[in-house]
A and B are shown apart, each in its own frame.
Chain A
Amino acid sequence: MEQQFSLTSEIQDNCLVIATSGYVNNVGGEAIAEEFNRHFENGIKQVVVNLAGSKVVNSIGMSFLIEIIEKLNEVDGKLVFTNLDPTVEKMLTIMGIFKFAGKEATVENGVKSFARQT
């Protein structure tokens, strides 16, 4: 069964990289938002969310990600998803999330994508 949610975060090239593990439900989504907010207050505007360890997510968890995307939009920042399971990618596509967020195959590519923009 999908394990309990946990996350790690680090800063790479002025970009916040959050890696999740386990089910991204309301609790997981809120934890991601809290971690983001902590760094957002310190001026972070570039975020990579690595979902390699999360094969099951739900729309309530993803609604917290939409909140993050909205906050980043307001400051010309951006969120990029990486390491997406094909099913999760399809879900995010149906929700239209990639109209406002990016996706890359790997964290490395995600971080590099910001460098290309600046």
Chain B
Amino acid sequence: MNREVTLRLALPKIPDIELVAVEGLAHLGRHLGIADEQIGEAKIIVTEAIINAFEHTVGENPVVKVKFVMTKKELVIFVRDYGKGFEPESVEDPNIEDKIGSTRKRGWGLKLMKSLSDGFHIESGNWGTKITITKRLS
């Protein structure tokens, strides 16, 4: 049996709201009998994706929508923001040698998401950004 559970969240921009998504993810995992350690990397992916999404989001009541579709074998993460978008191809891969000595130490989100995932797709435009990430769990 390959049971599938889905969780949809609409997150307001308030401090540490990404932890709500991380907790939701852990709850789904526990429901399917997946150990917390197995979804550790997914937690980082989700955290970085939501932080990135809010960085691109403007307006009075910004919302980031998140959807998790989880089976025992795989997790698919969808993150959608309604911000101004950006050109993913123009984002340079950060490296520590450049960051040391630079005034900008941030900018690791995309690299971490790509490195920790098994599938990564991003679409972005003036309508916002959609990220779809696949992570194998077994």
**Of A7-15, A45-53, A66-74, A109-117, the one touching chain B:** A66-74
Q: How large is the interface on B (under 10, 10 to 19, 20 to 34, 35 or more residues)?
A: 20 to 34
Q: Is the CB of B108 within 8 A of A95?
A: yes
Q: 0/1 per residue, B97-115, Cβ < 8 Å to A?
A: 1011100011011011001
Q: What B residues does A38 contact at CB under 8 A?
A: none
- The main secondary structure of chain A at its interface with chain B is helix
A1 within 8 A of partner (CB):
yes
Q: Give bound CA distance, A81 to B94, whole Å.
A: 21
B129 within 8 A of partner (CB):
no
**Count of A interface residues, CB-CB < 8 Å:** 29
Shortest B93–chain A CB gap in Å is 11
* Residue from the list B15, B96, B116 in contact with A99, Cβ < 8 A: B96
Shortest B37–chain A CB gap in Å is 7
13 pairs from A and B in contact (CB 8 Å cutoff) = A2-B22, A23-B16, A27-B15, A55-B40, A62-B108, A66-B96, A67-B105, A69-B100, A85-B40, A86-B37, A87-B43, A91-B116, A94-B111
